[in-house]
Amino acid sequence: MTDTPRRLEHPSMNAPLLDWWMRDYDHVFVVLNPFFSVPGFAPDTAAWGPLRSEATTQQELEALIESLGDGQPNQPPDAFDEIIKTTGQPIRWDMVAQALGVADFEHFAHMVWLWVIGAEPPEADVTLISRIARHCRNEGLYKPEEDWLPLVVEPMLLPYFEALRLDEVTLWDETRTSSLECPIDAFHRDEPPVALMDAPISAISAPGMLLSWSQDQVTGLLAMTEEMRQKADPARFLEGFWAGTRTSSLVLDPTHARAPALLH
């Protein structure tokens, strides 16, 4: 059992979001981690994000690790995380979908999610995923970051926090056992990436608000009270959509849109 209060917890797998937080928050805005570009760099020359491999045997894994030790031609420069925060430009999902001529945004978002996490897509959708990958390659776009607070999102959060009239927020790790009080000025583009001492940032909280990410997801879940929603509409600052009564924690997987409630 955990002593973490529900207001700080990320929803369990497939839990309807509004049911999960019904005692603490009134609304949930699903934040899409943006595609992004970094002037002077591209994934082909400065790779960023988790490395995925089709290696399945011990020998293949050892060969992969050995090759990484030799250095790769597309290794990013030192302090590339700071370069991303300082110069990175967020690219909206709807702009990529429009560039590809994809009208069904829900289906497009589902395929982006499968592509980023390296999941096997339905055979009928391999072509769309190939088009997304080719577009990003041609335009020098990086994939949306997964699992935790994206670097390119940090400067996007500052004006939102200012609109909420916050002076500081609390940073949390995935298990909510490590935390740090952080002034919102630390999110400014010219500041180093915000960080915890020993873990990635998986959540940000303030009274009446929680923004949380989870593993193998490319979305953040922004839960808020009615008072916080009235102070500032997150859609003015972040790309995303409002959760409905059937929206589950697997927000980009349409097969889980009607998942049952999982309440303590």
11, 247 Cβ separation under 8 angstroms? no
pLDDT band (50, 70, 90) for residue 254: confident
Q: Is the pTM of this model over 0.85?
A: yes
Q: Collect all residues with Cβ–Cβ distance below 8 Å to 46 and sequence separation of at least 6.
A: 38, 74, 75, 76, 77, 80
Lowest mean per-residue pLDDT among 41-45, 59-63, 229-233: 59-63
Average pLDDT over residues 174-196: 96
Query: In the structure, what pLDDT confidence band is assigned to residue 204 with cuts at 50, 70 and 90?
Result: very high
pLDDT for the residue 234? 97
pLDDT band at 73 (very low <50, low <70, confident <90, very high): low
In the predicted model, what is the mean pLDDT of residues 158-178?
Answer: 97
- The pLDDT value recorded for residue 121 is 83
Judge whether residue 258 has pLDDT over 70: no
Which band of pLDDT confidence, cut at 50, 70 and 90, is reported for residue 70?
low
Residue type, 209: M
Predicted pLDDT at 57: 60
pLDDT (0 to 100) of residue 120: 85
